[in-house]
Structure 1
Amino acid sequence: MNPIIAMLKENNIQDAQIRELFEIMTQNPMAAMATISQLGLPQDQLQMLMAQVMQNPALLKEAVNELGLDFSKVEAAKDQLQK
């Protein structure tokens, strides 16, 4: 299991919420940040999650694939943010 998804599950985040978070991320990464903050993760867990993503961005792609979502939407959203 992807470590991001595993950490969310360890913090009692429901599968539906995890899927919704990644769906939001594929559409609007900035909105995903707000959604993550609303999950009520302890600050240390949130920092660990962000550090994992920063050190290994491929984890996001793995998580999106594991959930059966379209990673190309993440790339498109990222391109829009860089413009």
Structure 2
Amino acid sequence: MNPIIAILKEHNIADEQINQLFEALTENPLMAMGIVQQLGIPQDKLQQLMGLVMQNPGLIKEAVEELGLDFAKVEAAKEKLSSSQ
């Protein structure tokens, strides 16, 4: 299991919420950050989660694929975010 998904499940985050988070990530990464904060994950675990993502961004792709979502949308959202800055 993907370590991002494992940490979310470890904190009793429902599959529906995990899918919602990654769908938001594919459409609007800023919105996804708001969802992450609302999940009630303790700060230390949230930092661990963010550290995992920063050290290995490929984990996002793996998680999106594991959930059966479209990674091309993640790439498009990332480009849209970059171009708006």
Shorter-chain TM-score bucket reads over 0.9
Unaligned runs of 5+ residues in structure 1 are: none
Unaligned runs of 5+ residues in structure 2 are: none
1:16 match: secondary structure: helix
Report matched runs for 1:1-83 at 5 Å.
Answer: 1-83=1-83
Provide Cα deviations, 1:12-37, integer angstroms capped at 9, x if missing partner. Answer: 00111001100111000010000000
RMSD (Å) for aligned C-alpha atoms: 0.4
Pairs aligned (count): 83
Identity in percent: 66
Q: What is the rounded CA distance, in whole Å, between the counterparts of 2:68 and 2:2 in structure 1?
A: 13
1:13 match: secondary structure: coil
Provide Cα deviations, 1:23-81, integer angstroms capped at 9, x if missing partner. Answer: 11100001000000000000000000000000000000000000000000000010011
Deviating above 4 A after TM superposition, structure 1's stretches of 4 or more consecutive aligned residues are none
